[in-house]
């Protein structure tokens, strides 16, 4: 069994040195850029070697560079060097894939195949062949044109040795047994010591059998020994021994990989047998398999949250992971809203009083991370990064902390609750619809549809045509991002975790209200070139104060007499009484007989007036064209179009996405609102202006 197995991915870096640097690794500069999750070195194509017909090209995928790394267990930085004598080339030479940025989630990401791979001193070389399918042609053109220059091998490190020199402050390790299993095209590189290979200095078209087998079987020779001077019989025997050892080693590694993937898939979770078999047959690494299993389970849960992803939940009780997550979320919600329900109090009782750092420690301990001796800062960082960051924290099959999901769920709930609780008093008299995309939405007015016609003497039906009058609008996207950072956790800042997302939810609801009421107050031209409220539209009256019941009766009569373009009487009834805050008292007195003035009685107010629904909107008071005296009536939107508000299909209201932070240590929550509002028909709305 290997001493150490770590799945790593090499990222590429800009190239400025000469090819001679590969032959003198001791003179290469240290990498200037370092990423925790990926072990990065540079590797480059050699455009002069490109063969257009076969779509093959030669490349340098490792140059012996010394790469900085960080040990999360000890908290120390160190340098790692890959010894090409210990490199197993079998997987690459057996058709290793050429991928797009280490993406192994589908065959679309495979750009080509490794036709041959070999080592020359401390340099890794390869001939790559690119696919001729249309989707890859543009990438191939950029490769041969020198636009895409960098490569990065994905690898497993089985064994490393400490090669730190005496008196050297920084530790140094050398990987003496390792295996690349894919080569990827990447855009950003960290090793500036690699260069293009000119056509003249290209390695042999095919490495000798001795070179390839020696790289796989780790045959040790003196540095100055030339393989061509060996006796052919000795070479043949060495080849047989090396091939047998390589086969045995490959079988052991494959068995270990398959058994580990099966243990993950059938241990804490249950996945379909065909999905598991596909992972094993595809030859993906353990880390990649684990990522795919977690992604699949997450997608299934999001699709139907009521179906538990853990088999324990189907056998009579909740899994401990679910209980811990729900308990911590309930405890945090209670801290942000102490008046929450008793059920939430019972759920969060176990974790009441814990700080955010305490909860982070609990989550890390639950997945096998030993937090004893770790500082508060280290605990927060490890818990927030999870599988997307410091993967070396995690040793078990469950390689991610629940802590980021707990924080994201609490923020999501507070944001959504605040959005739904925010007042949106336009909803009763407007109509909600959805749109498939962001293209202009064209609405034909229902009132423009002609009346049914009598059939002719032959019993034929007369065609009914819709007029050209239509209103158009398009969706617009608004949004914002709320980060939950390591600083929030260390400060135990519930203000940032609950109040800020809640404010974002209120802002989304406010934006919707602003958009709808702006349609009324702006009084913009409609498709016919006439403002929404205008004498031409017969929905604008003057000197019509709300105080007199007779004025409401007059407004009702005017809406009743509205006609379609072809003269059909629509007989609309105003259902809603829309008023600024200044007229709220008068409106309540009129519509509620209990609050009538002493000089009036319920008999003085018609039943239809008392049945109207008052809608008070202070935005009307703030607009000079409305003021505190003008008022509106609106028909029921089920009888005629009034104002229409629209969301993107499948995302009604504010839509929330979360991800692990890239710019910061933590979780980022994005609130997005795709929304639009427009007046569709003027006949169901009426404005009444007072003197």
* pLDDT tier for residue 607 given thresholds of 50, 70 and 90: confident
Give the closest residue to 637 by CA, choosing from 594, 690, 575: 575
Read off the pLDDT of each residue in 132-146 and give the average, rounded to a whole number. Answer: 89
Q: Which of 411-425, 475-489, 515-529 has the highest mean pLDDT?
A: 515-529
Read off the pLDDT of each residue in 366-390 and give the average, rounded to a whole number. Answer: 75
Write the DSSP assignment of 296-350 as a string of letters: HHHHHHHH-TTS-SSGGGGGTS--HHHHHHHHHHHHHHHHH-TT--HHHHHHHGG
- CB distance 471 to 532 below 8 Å: no
Question: Range with the lowest mean pLDDT among 93-102, 208-217, 402-411, 498-507?
Answer: 208-217
Query: What is the reported pLDDT for 233?
Result: 57
Query: What is the reported pLDDT for 629?
Result: 84
For 54-85, how does the pLDDT look when each residue is reduced to its tens digit (9 = 90+)? 999 988 888 888 877 766 556 577 888 889 99
Query: What is the reported pLDDT for 154?
Result: 82
* pLDDT tier for residue 577 given thresholds of 50, 70 and 90: very high
Give the closest residue to 641 by CA, choosing from 344, 484, 501, 441: 441
Query: What is the reported pLDDT for 201?
Result: 32
Backbone angles phi, psi at 419, to 5 degrees: -65, -45
Question: Range with the lowest mean pLDDT among 77-81, 332-336, 568-572, 641-645?
Answer: 332-336
Give the closest residue to 545 by CA, choosing from 535, 555, 556: 555
Query: What is the reported pLDDT for 560?
Result: 92
Q: Look up the pTM and report it.
A: 0.51
Question: Range with the lowest mean pLDDT among 349-353, 395-399, 561-565?
Answer: 395-399
**What would the two tokens of residue 330 be?**
């309930």
Query: What is the reported pLDDT for 133?
Result: 92
* pLDDT tier for residue 470 given thresholds of 50, 70 and 90: confident
- CB distance 608 to 575 below 8 Å: no
d(CA 296, CA 289): 11
Write the DSSP assignment of 356-425 as a string of letters: HHHHHHHHHHHTT---TT--HHHHHHHHHHGGGS-GGG--SS--S-SHHHHHHHHHHHHHHHHHHHS--T
Distances (CA, A) of 459 to 205, 449, 453, 456: 85, 22, 12, 5
Higher pLDDT, 639 or 229: 639
* pLDDT tier for residue 198 given thresholds of 50, 70 and 90: very low
Report the percent of the chain where pLDDT is more than 70. Answer: 71
* pLDDT tier for residue 548 given thresholds of 50, 70 and 90: confident
Distances (CA, A) of 470 to 67, 431, 449, 473, 547: 65, 16, 12, 10, 36
**Around Cβ 598, how many Cβ atoms within 10 Å?**
5
**H or E element at residue 136:** helix 134-144
Query: What is the reported pLDDT for 312?
Result: 38
User: What average pLDDT is seen over the chain?
Assistant: 74
**What would the two tokens of residue 215 be?**
């790289």
Q: 3-state DSSP call for residue 177?
A: strand
Question: Range with the lowest mean pLDDT among 2-6, 149-153, 316-320, 495-499?
Answer: 2-6
**Around Cβ 393, how many Cβ atoms within 10 Å?**
24
Give the closest residue to 479 by CA, choosing from 498, 496, 504: 504
**What would the two tokens of residue 187 be?**
């855009």
Read off the pLDDT of each residue in 437-450 and give the average, rounded to a whole number. Answer: 74
**What would the two tokens of residue 15 be?**
């190239």
**H or E element at residue 687:** strand 685-688
Query: Is 611's pLDDT higher than 50?
Result: yes
* pLDDT tier for residue 246 given thresholds of 50, 70 and 90: low
Q: How far apart are the first and last CA of the chain?
A: 92
Query: Is 306's pLDDT higher than 50?
Result: no
- CB distance 366 to 402 below 8 Å: yes
Distances (CA, A) of 552 to 93, 442, 559, 577, 632: 87, 33, 11, 9, 10
Backbone angles phi, psi at 612, to 5 degrees: -70, 150
Q: Which of 104-108, 311-315, 325-329 has the highest mean pLDDT?
A: 325-329
Query: Is 226's pLDDT higher than 60?
Result: no
* pLDDT tier for residue 301 given thresholds of 50, 70 and 90: low
d(CA 484, CA 533): 47
Query: What is the reported pLDDT for 504?
Result: 86
Query: Number of H helices and number of E strands within the chain?
Result: 18, 22
* pLDDT tier for residue 117 given thresholds of 50, 70 and 90: very high
Q: How many CA atoms lie within 13 A of 577 on its CB side?
A: 27
Report the percent of the chain where pLDDT is more than 90. Answer: 17
CA 271 to chain centroid: 23
Give the closest residue to 383 by CA, choosing from 355, 356, 410, 409: 356
Give the total residue count for the chain: 691
Question: What distance separates the 2 farthest-apart alpha carbons in the chain?
Answer: 124
Query: What is the reported pLDDT for 514?
Result: 94
Query: What is the reported pLDDT for 339?
Result: 55
Query: Is 263's pLDDT higher than 70?
Result: yes
């Amino acid at each position: 069994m290997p001493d150490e197995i770590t799945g790593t991915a090499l990222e590429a870096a800009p190239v400025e040195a000469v090819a001679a640097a590969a032959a003198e690794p001791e003179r290469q500069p240290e990498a200037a850029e370092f990423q925790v999750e990926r072990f990065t070195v540079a590797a480059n194509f050699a455009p002069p070697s490109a063969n257009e017909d076969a779509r093959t090209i030669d490349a340098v995928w490792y140059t012996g560079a010394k790469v900085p790394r960080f040990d999360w267990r000890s908290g120390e930085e160190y340098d790692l060097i890959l010894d090409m004598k210990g490199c197993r080339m079998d997987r690459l030479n057996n058709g290793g894939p050429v991928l797009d940025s280490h993406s192994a989630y589908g065959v679309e990401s495979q750009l080509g195949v490794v036709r041959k791979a070999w080592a020359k001193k401390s340099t890794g070389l390869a001939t790559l062949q690119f696919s001729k399918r249309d989707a890859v042609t543009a990438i191939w053109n950029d490769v041969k044109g020198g636009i895409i220059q960098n490569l990065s091998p994905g690898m497993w490190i089985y064994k490393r040795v400490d090669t730190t020199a005496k008196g050297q402050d920084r530790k140094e390790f050398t990987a003496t047994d390792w295996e690349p299993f894919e080569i990827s095209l990447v855009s950003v590189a960290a090793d500036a010591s690699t260069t293009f290979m000119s056509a003249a200095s290209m390695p042999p078209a095919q490495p000798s059998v001795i070179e390839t087998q020696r790289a796989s079987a780790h045959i040790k020779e003196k540095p100055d020994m030339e393989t061509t001077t060996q006796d052919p019989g000795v070479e043949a025997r060495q080849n047989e021994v090396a091939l047998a050892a390589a086969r045995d080693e490959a079988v052991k590694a494959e068995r270990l990989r398959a058994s580990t993937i099966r243990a993950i898939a059938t241990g804490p979770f249950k996945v379909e047998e065909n999905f598991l078999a596909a992972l094993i047959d595809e030859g993906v690494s353990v880390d990649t398999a684990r990522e795919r299993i977690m992604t699949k389970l997450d997608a299934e849960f999001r699709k139907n949250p009521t179906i538990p992803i853990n088999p324990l939940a189907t056998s009579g009780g909740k899994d401990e992971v679910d209980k811990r997550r729900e308990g911590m979320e309930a405890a945090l919600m209670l801290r942000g809203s102490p008046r929450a329900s008793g059920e939430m109090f019972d759920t969060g009782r176990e974790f009441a009083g814990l700080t955010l750092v305490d909860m982070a420690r609990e989550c890390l301990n639950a997945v096998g991370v030993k937090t004893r001796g770790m500082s508060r800062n280290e605990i927060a960082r490890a818990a927030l990064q999870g599988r997307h960051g410091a993967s070396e924290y995690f040793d078990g099959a469950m390689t991610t902390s629940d802590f980021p999901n707990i924080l994201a769920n609490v923020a999501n709930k507070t944001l959504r609750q605040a959005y739904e609780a925010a007042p949106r008093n336009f909803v009763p008299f407007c109509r909600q619809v959805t749109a498939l995309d962001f293209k202009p939405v064209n609405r034909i007015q229902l009132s423009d549809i002609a009346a049914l016609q009598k059939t002719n003497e032959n019993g034929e039906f007369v065609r009914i045509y819709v007029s050209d009058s239509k209103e158009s609008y398009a969706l617009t996207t608004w949004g914002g991002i709320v980060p939950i950072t390591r600083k929030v956790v260390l400060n135990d800042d519930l203000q940032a975790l609950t109040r800020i997302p809640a404010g974002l939810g209120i802002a989304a609801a406010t934006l919707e209200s602003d958009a709808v009421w702006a349609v009324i107050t702006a009084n913009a031209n409609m498709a016919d070139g006439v403002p929404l409220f205008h004498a031409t539209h017969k929905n604008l009256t003057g000197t019509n104060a709300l105080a007199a019941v007779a004025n409401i009766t007059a407004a009702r009569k005017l809406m009743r007499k509205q006609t379609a373009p072809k003269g059909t009487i629509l007989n609309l009834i105003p259902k809603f009484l829309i008023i600024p805050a200044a007229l709220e008292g008068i409106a309540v007195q009129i519509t509620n007989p209990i609050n009538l003035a002493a000089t009036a009685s319920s008999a003085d107010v018609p039943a239809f007036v008392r049945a109207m629904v008052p809608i008070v909107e202070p935005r009307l008071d703030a607009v000079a064209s409305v003021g505190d005296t003008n008022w509106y009536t609106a028909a029921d939107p089920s009888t005629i179009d009034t104002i229409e508000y629209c969301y993107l299909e499948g995302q009604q209201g504010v839509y929330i996405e979360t991800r692990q932070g890239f710019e910061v240590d933590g979780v980022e929550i994005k609130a997005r609102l795709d929304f639009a509002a427009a007046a569709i028909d003027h006949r169901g709305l009426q404005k009444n202006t007072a003197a």
